[in-house]
Amino acid sequence: MRLIGSPLLAAAALSLVLGACGGGDDDDDLQEAAPTAAACPEALTAIASCLAGQDSEGAYYLIAMPKEWNGNLVLHAHGGPSLDAPTPDRSADDLTRWALMVKAGYAWAGSTFRQGGVEVRAAAEDTERLRQIFEEHVASPRRTILHGQSWGAGVAAKAAEMFTEESTGSQPYDAVLLTSGVLAGGTRSYDFWLDLRVVYQYLCNNHPRPNEASYALSIGLPADSSMTRAELAARTAECLGLDKPADQRTAEQQAKVETIVNVIRVPESSIQAHLNWGTFHFQDVVQERTGGASPFGNIGAQYSGSPDDAALNAGVQRYAADAQAVERFAQDTDPTGRIPVPVLSVKGTGDPTAFVELDAYFKTVMESGGSAGRLVQTFTDHAVHSYLSDATYATLLAALLQWVDQDVKPTAAGIAQQCPAFEAEFGVGCRFLPDYAAPALETRVPARERP
């Protein structure tokens, strides 16, 4: 059992662990309050009881305990990240989305994280803090599976590196499940957002407008900018007609949309979201995480797919990434591949948000970190990001437990064969592609000079 004997010991242990990893509270005597009974999301009221609380760093959390518990815990790291201050609703929304895990018999625990913004290590610390709260105040699980979705997959990968038997005295996580993950770290996963910014500006020249103060697009927005998402959407509507169906756009608008789709290789339905992230999330990174300097650059990147690539490459603005900003951002967000437990990932090949080439890069990171033998990657014939199917995740969780309990390492082919057996209980949704291999990241996002 990994149950810690008292709240004081639990808090002291976590404080020591987090302090060793560069985070946590300075007060070693701070103890975590016990969660209190809370209403479960409607989908789970008949089969589970829920607990909620706020940890010592300010993160809200929610825990669901199925009435027929299989003894295992899924510790969830959510996607995003939101730039707003956390609220309890975030974990309720996450639990509603991932209700399948509770229906399959797993306990579930998810944190909102203590703050909004692009800070991976802090989110990893908050996730580990929740694990300790669960073990201290709720139960000692037989197995703990660390689950990261989207941006949270990067959080989970970082947590699995930070919190190990070596750093905590016992292995806190038995396995890691990464779904639809942003897995190339901040210094590479977000390159294409800068590419989108410079290509959009080349085509539209309204973000910023010529009569507005200029700034480096690589910072997202100046620190004092008050631009809202609605205001940015009005500009994209003006230039691209994204607020209209394709047949209601002007020929010029549609031509610009097609250029962005072909050069940046994102579907037109995702242009606005990615432009938002390359604006407001870049602003958060630069102003809040890297000391005002940008870790993003596009020197040397060669863009292709436009009607006139020579003109495009000559006309887009170019920026060099700041070396210290890159180092600082990499230390917080980039995976090292040193994960000591089994890791299973899944990605839809048509994911419009976290494309499959990120998984190819993550595979090279795991290889360089000495963890290649502990990674199995799977891919599905889905073109969505937020959720694939209940049967998909039920199959993956079962495969992970078999790997941990019986030392039977899964294969992509074996998982594809096992999935249909879960459809009777969890619904149709098996679309695994056992022979698929993700292309290299450089085939999707142009290579560029790096400090």
Beta strands 175-179 and 343-348: pairing type? parallel
pTM exceeds cut of 0.85? yes
DSSP letters spanning 432-449:
B-TT--PPPGGGTS----
The pLDDT tens digits of the residues spanning 175-226 come to: 999 999 999 999 999 999 999 999 999 999 999 999 999 999 999 999 999 9
Q: Where in the chain is the domain with CATH 3.40.50.1820?
A: 7-186+334-443
> Quick one: average pLDDT of 383-412?
98
The pLDDT tens digits of the residues spanning 414-423 come to: 999 999 999 9
Distance CA 133, CA 172 (A): 12
Tell me if residue 144 falls in helix, strand or coil.
Answer: strand
DSSP letters spanning 93-104:
HHHHHTHHHHHT
> Quick one: average pLDDT of 404-423?
98
In this structure, is the dihedral angle defined by the CA atoms of residues 296, 297, 303 and 308, taken in order, positive or negative? positive
Beta strands 36-38 and 48-54: pairing type? antiparallel
Q: What is the dihedral of CA 395, 396, 401, 402, to 10 degrees?
A: 70
> Does residue 432 have a pLDDT over 50?
yes
Contact, 389 vs 431, CB < 8 A?
A: yes
Predicted pLDDT at 30: 59
The strand order across the sheet containing 72-77 reads 36-38, 48-54, 60-66, 107-111, 72-77, 143-149, 175-179, 343-348, 375-380
| Beta-strand runs (E) in 195-280 | none
β-pair partners for 109: 63, 75
Lookup: tokens for 158:
């970082």
The pLDDT tens digits of the residues spanning 62-116 come to: 999 999 999 999 999 999 999 999 999 999 999 999 999 999 999 999 999 999 9
**Can you give the C-alpha Rg of the chain in angstroms?**
22
Average pLDDT for the chain: 94
Tell me if residue 416 falls in helix, strand or coil.
Answer: helix
β-pair partners for 49: 65
| Contacts with 93 (C-beta within 8 Å, 6 or more apart), sequence order | none
Among 68, 339, 381, which residue's Cα sits nearest to residue 177?
A: 339
Predicted pLDDT at 31: 84
Share of the chain above pLDDT 90, in %: 92
Q: What is the dihedral of CA 152, 153, 159, 160, to 10 degrees?
A: 160
Q: Greater confidence, 11 or 201?
A: 201
The pLDDT tens digits of the residues spanning 300-356 come to: 999 999 999 999 999 999 999 999 999 999 999 999 999 999 999 999 999 999 999
CATH of 7-186+334-443, one of 3.40.309.10, 3.40.50.1100, 3.40.50.1820, 3.30.565.10: 3.40.50.1820
